[in-house]
Amino acid sequence: MGIFQNSVVAMGIGLSEINVILKTKSVKQGGEIEGRIYLVNGKKRLEFESISFELCVTTSTKQIVAIGQAPCVNSFILNENNKRDIPFSIKVPIDAPLTKFMYLKTIFNIFTISEVKNKIKVYPSSDLEVILNTLMKRFDFAQPNTEIYAVKGQLLQKFIFKPKTPNTYRKYLDELECYFFKVDGGIEMVMKMDKRGRNFKTVLKEVSIKDKNYKTIFITPYDIVDTLEKYLIK
């Protein structure tokens, strides 16, 4: 959120200045977002009921979905002409989608509800990063396109990999569709190799084990290459 928008929020609740400052604008899945809230009061005593956070993601269909909430501080009073600097930390879910469109919403509950938003980019966790790099470097797939969908309150992210050239990997393969799910001890990968591209019709059907076109494999950090080769190289 820009300085002008922050000023509008500040004036709306009677503050001279409000600023939510993040240490970084990017974070890995499962990582911590750290920062501070800087408040400067004006000439009116203010009573805050609470300050809290909400992590939100914009899906491919432009739907806003909250993937995490956390309290910051409970009720407090900010007297006239006083300042307050509030450090904070909030954990990003390990299954947060990889996206440039996540933002941290800081919610000020005073006599009205006001919000400040900060954009955040989410990078893959270390184990997922190894899998993605293996698919791109060892198996010569291009950087994947991704789509994010909300299904029954859960976010699902589809990765669409395409060979860099028609003859690079298995001539018949147009694309490889994957979903990745963090489970105990590793990552569950649900994948399908397609002869031709197609549109996303129903996420529920695609990730269901009843759909025989999809294979579900379990990948541990110790056998990523061997496991992928077992299913991709035949």
Give yes or no for residue 7 having a pLDDT over 50: yes
Task: DSSP for 137-184, please give it.
Answer: IIS-BPPPEEEEEEETTEEEEEEEE-BSSTTTS-TT--EEEEEEEEET
Cβ atoms of residues 75 and 49 within 8 Å: yes
What's the rounded mean pLDDT across residues 52-78? 93
Q: What is the strand order of the sheet 154-161 is part of?
A: 145-151, 154-161, 175-183, 186-194, 215-219
Cβ atoms of residues 70 and 93 within 8 Å: no
Domains and CATH numbers, the chain: 3-123 (2.60.40.640), 126-232 (no CATH)
The pLDDT value given to residue 191 = 87
The pLDDT value given to residue 71 = 94
Cβ atoms of residues 177 and 158 within 8 Å: yes
Cβ atoms of residues 89 and 27 within 8 Å: no
Percent of the chain with pLDDT over 90: 46
pLDDT digits (tens, 9 = 90+) for 179-225: 999 988 889 999 887 754 444 454 445 444 455 567 888 988 777 77
Strand, helix or coil for residue 10: helix
